[in-house]
Amino acid sequence: MGRPPCCEKEGVKKGPWTPEEDIILVSYIQEHGPGNWRAVPTNTGLMRCSKSCRLRWTNYLRPGIKRGNFTDQEEKLIIHLQALLGNRWAAIASYLPERTDNDIKNYWNTHLKKKLKKLQFSAGEEGGRTMNPISNNHHQSVSKGQWERRLQTDIHMAKQALSEALSLDTMNLESPSPPSIGPANTCTYASSTENISRLLENWMKSTPKSRSRASLGSMSNVCSETTTIESTTPAAIGKVMMGSTTHHDQLGFRSVKIESSGRSVLQEESKESLSAVAPPLSFIENWLFDDLSVGNGGDDDHQDLVDLPLSDASELFQD
């Protein structure tokens, strides 16, 4: 009857992750690197399915993740990329290296959708007709001319979005506390483990009921102050420490360089980080940038387009 579940339901734990589980997972990935998720539950003893482990890592424990408080720039970028790409959150997330697709998706569903709906409503009231500023409307049948015009607009939007993304990156690089990405940054892999140590600290302090939330909050402090895990020392840490005298460093502060079967985690992460700093450019993207750089010398048309209120921009797509 239907498709079998991805993993045996029996004995598989569900629901929120505990700090202990996080530590175990991070510790394992430090040693073996992300990937081969199928082996993670069996090798770590975690009563989680591989999917859950992967998700936990990519959406939460992975280094270099920024959580909460989307900036105006990011918001703008998401809106434009959504207009361009639709609900392809993974693709959109690739332009926001510090954000996960899940995060962006959540933000879109909880904040931006409503925001745009409001815009749509007010614009609809003003204009006396319904206008959808987001791309969902794009799927409605349109004439070829309209489609072409829309495509052109989308390209403009993409260009601007990309240039904004670049300028964001530049800003981030210049800022005093850049996100923990890139091999040159000493706060690479350790960031997530630092988070976990902080998480544990809060976890120990807080009541069982508020544990989850409290710890989640602490996780957002990527690369912040260093905290010794010894000060908290729950039983789980002991488990993690087993078989390694260097785990303390790994969990605490170490700028990671762990070799595992000829391939360091750092290398793995670096690949990610590199692509994070400079998302891989496809031919089209390169072309967009080429064109952008030409137009950057005071091409107000592009700026106008992006600065255009979404409700107005959407009018371009109307009859």
Place of tokens 């785990």: 247
Question: How far is it, in rounded angstroms, from Cα 86 to Cα 138?
Answer: 9
**Token digits for 187?**
């706060």
Long-range CB pairs of 106-109 (<8 Å, 24+ gap) are 107/70, 107/78, 108/78, 108/82
Q: Does 137 bind DNA (CB under 7 A)?
A: no
Please state the closest distance from residue 35 (CB atom) to DNA, in A.
6
Number of residues in contact with DNA under rule CB under 7 A:
44
- Which range binds DNA by CB under 7 A, 81-89, 118-126, 249-257, 291-299? 81-89
**Token digits for 41?**
């539950």
Q: Does 286 bind DNA (CB under 7 A)?
A: no
Strand locations in the chain, DSSP E? 259-260, 263-264
Q: Does 115 bind DNA (CB under 7 A)?
A: no
Please state the closest distance from residue 295 (CB atom) to DNA, in A.
29
Q: Does 262 bind DNA (CB under 7 A)?
A: no
Residue 54 makes CB contacts below 8 A (sequence gap 6+) with 34, 37, 40
Question: How far is it, in rounded angstroms, from Cα 86 to Cα 299?
Answer: 27
Is 51 or 149 the residue whose CB approaches DNA more closely?
A: 51
Q: Does 36 bind DNA (CB under 7 A)?
A: yes
209, 242, 261, 319: which one binds DNA (CB under 7 A): 209
Burial 190-207, CB ≥16 within 10 A → b, else e: bbbbbbbbbbbbbbeeee
23, 24, 44, 56: which one binds DNA (CB under 7 A): 56
43, 45, 47, 87: which one binds DNA (CB under 7 A): 87
1, 8, 68, 139: which one binds DNA (CB under 7 A): 68
Task: Give contact residues for DNA (rule: CB under 7 A).
Answer: 2-3, 5-6, 13-17, 35-38, 48, 50-52, 54-56, 59-60, 67-68, 87-91, 101-103, 105-107, 109-111, 114, 209-210, 212-213, 216
